[in-house]
Chains A and B, each alone.
Chain A
Amino acid sequence: MSKLSRRNFNIMLGAAGAATAASTAIGSFAYAQGKGKVVVIGGGAGGGTVAHLVKKGAPGLDVTLVEANAQYTTCFFSNLYLGGFRSFDSITHSYDGLKKLGVKVVTDYATGVDSARKTVTLRGGTTLSYDKLVLAPGIDFKWAGIEGYDDEAAKMMPHAYKAGVQTQILKKQLEAMKAGGTVIMAPPTNPFRCPPGPYERASMIAAYLKANKPGSKLIIFDPKPKFSKQALFQEGWQAHYQDIIEWVPPDLTGGGVKKVDAKAMTVTTGDGETVKADVANIIPAQRAGKIVHVAGCSDGDWCPINPEDFSSTKVKDIYVLGDASIAKKMPKSGFSANSQAKVVANSVLAALAGKKKFPARYRNTCWSLISENNGIKVGAAYKAGADKVDVSSKFISKTGETEEMRKQTFEESLDWYTAMTNEMFAKG
């Protein structure tokens, strides 16, 4: 710091200190207010963060988080587990922090919403009433897009696109595969969760094959002609996995994988070619989790929202955020959901705890790992437009960056992961 600004700064310190003490006292009195019931469905990047921030902002509010899994494995960084750069335990989290904060965490599955009576019913038989309902269920799969692929087939040809058991199946299959084998990957059609996700996954699978299964191939039958961070991924594949990864665009296959036979372990592309796989990672097309459709919040596959606070345009007193929402240019990512959660929490606290509602600000950054210590990122800032979320500025890693820069980008992602999961699960 320069001498002049340091002097300025010292003058200011006293004032800031005194003001801070005063504002903390006033602030915490206001925070303690708040009466009402908030129910959050889905304990991931969106729902976990909302539950945390609402309870922290107004401890007087009754906050219930409904999540089907007692422990949560994050989809982000699950590719690093496949590549051998991260343990399964390190991407699996408990809800102890949220419980300790006073959030009621219910391990159950929400099956019904009565928006007139303002109640939610759970599979276990419980009925919860709410003043504000937050739906953050993530994605469901549209099984019909690939003939022969369903929940059962996914046990043999894992999608691994909801992290947990599915990720472990894919990892075990890769470990059990013979050297010189063939892995086939079918990325989903747009729009889908985590746009760089399938391509980071291809990189991580290739890293594993390169180190452990010499002579193996990874063939990607993509239904899309282009993908997120394409130039960066393809530069990395050329440098590290030239003999392993083969990315096949849809015009060469008649639109990618159209049919699978999970027992025979074969996939058939749109132009009728059938290929035998040792491991097949089939990621189907996606839609918002079932509960938003039950609640009447969806318009087609996803949910329209008001861009200023992600409240549903269709049903009063319900918010829909994260993957399930239509956030336009803002990608379906954990970072996006966490960012939206902050605006939703502010809106809920304004409605139920007298807190000031501030203008919405949204942001996303997606880091991807190509090879060891070789990280890239893409990100943007967003704002609430008149009828949709608009991009205000964006950035992306460059091709040809130094190893040092790439290592720093990867290391940033490690810190981000810790900070993000601390917020989701009220840890640290």
Chain B
Amino acid sequence: MLKILAFVIATSTAFQTSFAANDSEVRDYGEYLAGECSACHRDGANETIPPIVGYEVLAFIELMETYRNGERQNQAMVSVAKSLDKEQIKALAVYFASVKPKEN
């Protein structure tokens, strides 16, 4: 738990300090990185693989941390989460928070 908090706080601090300066760049980077997610995740209704858009920023960051720390164990997601650094997770969080889920 402490590890998660440390990660969330560190990430959110980085997020606050860098966000104002290059907000659109962060989102654009997130949109690019999200290409790796959208091979499997959709915007709207799914059955096994959950929709990925519409997460609030820190909820997304914390969720990714649960794959990094072993709390969640889906092999594909563990591989994705471990391949991303904090800046990248932040960019993804900002991007996904900006997209509205589709109702389908």
Are B79 and A415 touching (Cβ within 8 A)? no
Tell me if B71 is interfacial: C-beta within 8 Å of chain A.
no
Are B40 and A361 touching (Cβ within 8 A)? no
**The stretch of A116-124, A125-133, A175-183, A392-400 that contacts the partner chain:** A392-400
Give every chain B residue within 8 A of A12 (Cβ-Cβ). Answer: 12, 15-16, 57-58
Q: Which of A356, A392, A396, A423 contacts B25 (CB 8 A)?
A: A356
Residues of B within 8 A of A (CB): 1, 4-5, 8-9, 12, 15-16, 19-20, 23-29, 31-33, 35-36, 38-44, 46-49, 56-59, 62, 75-76, 78-80, 82-83, 94, 97-98, 102, 104
Q: Digit string of A383-427 for contact with B (CB within 8 Å is 1, else 0)? A: 000000000111111000000000010011011101110110000
Are A9 and B59 touching (Cβ within 8 A)? yes
User: A345: nearest residue on chain B (CB-CB)?
Assistant: B35
Tell me if A342 is interfacial: C-beta within 8 Å of chain B.
yes
Q: Which of A358, A377, A396, A416 contacts B32 (CB 8 A)?
A: A358
Tell me if A23 is interfacial: C-beta within 8 Å of chain B.
yes
Given contacts A9-B56, A377-B76, A363 and B39 within 8 Å (CB-CB): yes
Max chain A CB contacts within 10 Å: which of B47, B56, B82? Answer: B56
User: A364: nearest residue on chain B (CB-CB)?
Assistant: B39
Are A9 and B48 touching (Cβ within 8 A)? no
Complex: how many Å from CA A412 to CA B48? 6
Give every chain B residue within 8 A of A397 (Cβ-Cβ). Answer: 75
User: A349: nearest residue on chain B (CB-CB)?
Assistant: B32
Interface majority SS (helix, strand, loop, mixed), chain B: helix
Are B46 and A415 touching (Cβ within 8 A)? yes
Size band of the A side of the interface?
35 or more
**The stretch of A13-21, A134-142, A201-209, A276-284 that contacts the partner chain:** A13-21
User: B33: nearest residue on chain A (CB-CB)?
Assistant: A361
Are B42 and A422 touching (Cβ within 8 A)? yes
Complex: how many Å from CA A396 to CA B76? 9
Tell me if A211 is interfacial: C-beta within 8 Å of chain B.
no
Give every chain A residue within 8 A of B80 (Cβ-Cβ). Answer: 363, 381
Closest CB-CB distance, B33 to chain A, in whole Å? 7
Interface majority SS (helix, strand, loop, mixed), chain A: helix
Complex: how many Å from CA A380 to CA B20? 35
Tell me if A428 is interfacial: C-beta within 8 Å of chain B.
yes
Q: Which of B4, B75, B104 contacts A377 (CB 8 A)?
A: B75
Given contacts A27-B28, A420-B39, A392 and B83 within 8 Å (CB-CB): yes
Give every chain B residue within 8 A of A95 (Cβ-Cβ). Answer: none
* The 9 nearest A-B residue pairs measured at CB: A9-B58, A342-B35, A23-B24, A415-B49, A20-B98, A411-B48, A19-B23, A395-B75, A23-B27
Closest CB-CB distance, A7 to chain B, in whole Å? 10
Give every chain A residue within 8 A of B97 (Cβ-Cβ). Answer: 16-17, 20
Interface residues of A in 154-193 (CB under 8 A from B): none
Complex: how many Å from CA A8 to CA B24? 22
Are A13 and B19 touching (Cβ within 8 A)? no
Tell me if A22 is interfacial: C-beta within 8 Å of chain B.
yes
Give every chain B residue within 8 A of A416 (Cβ-Cβ). Answer: 39-40, 49
Are B83 and A393 touching (Cβ within 8 A)? yes
Are A361 and B36 touching (Cβ within 8 A)? yes
Max chain A CB contacts within 10 Å: which of B4, B27, B40, B59? Answer: B40
Give every chain B residue within 8 A of A216 (Cβ-Cβ). Answer: none
Are B79 and A15 touching (Cβ within 8 A)? no
Q: Which of A346, A381, A408 contacts B83 (CB 8 A)?
A: A381
User: B65: nearest residue on chain A (CB-CB)?
Assistant: A5
A-B contact pairs, 10 of them (CB 8 A): A5-B58, A19-B27, A20-B94, A53-B35, A355-B28, A363-B36, A395-B76, A411-B47, A420-B39, A422-B42
Give every chain A residue within 8 A of B82 (Cβ-Cβ). Answer: 393
Are B9 and A8 touching (Cβ within 8 A)? yes
Are A22 and B42 touching (Cβ within 8 A)? no
Q: Which of B27, B42, B62, B104 contacts A5 (CB 8 A)?
A: B62
Are B19 and A15 touching (Cβ within 8 A)? yes
Complex: how many Å from CA A397 to CA B74? 10
Complex: how many Å from CA A415 to CA B8? 29
Give every chain A residue within 8 A of B58 (Cβ-Cβ). Answer: 1, 5-6, 8-9, 12
User: B88: nearest residue on chain A (CB-CB)?
Assistant: A361
Are B48 and A414 touching (Cβ within 8 A)? yes
